[in-house]
Amino acid sequence: MKKHISHLNVSIGMLLIRLGVGGIFLSHGWSKLANMEGTIAFFSQLGFDPLIAYVVAIGELLGGISMILGIFTRWSGVGLALIMLGALFLLKFKNGFSGEFELLLLLTALGISFSGPGKYSLERTFYNHE
């Protein structure tokens, strides 16, 4: 009985973590896409081509949806972690370390990528693995 309760707690915990991380990325991706002109201008100030602004915005949006639904989480976790790694090195480390939020998102996305989406996910439903 204890093993069942423990497994349930882990599964609910993974669901909550995925919902939180996914919601943050979905929100940030959506806001970038909703103001693509401003997003492109910001990325241009950093010396990036507008294509990178689209890649990041769409990556955050789709990665967030992937995390929420619990499908392709291993791939989206790596992609989202790479986006956060870029944010840390290109923005946050310039003036000393100020990227606690980005670091937390990076590590959480990687954690989900390594551990899988958990029991309550579309991936588990379709492929029957954790």
Q: In the prediction, which pLDDT does 130 show?
A: 43
Block means of pLDDT (10 residues each) for the chain, length 130 residues?
A: 66 95 98 98 95 98 98 96 93 79 96 93 74
Domain that holds residue 73: 2-127
CA separation for the pair 97, 75 (Å, rounded): 27
Give me the pLDDT at residue 120, please: 92
Number of domains in the chain: 1
Q: Which residues make Cβ contacts (< 8 Å) with residue 31, sequence separation at least 6?
A: none
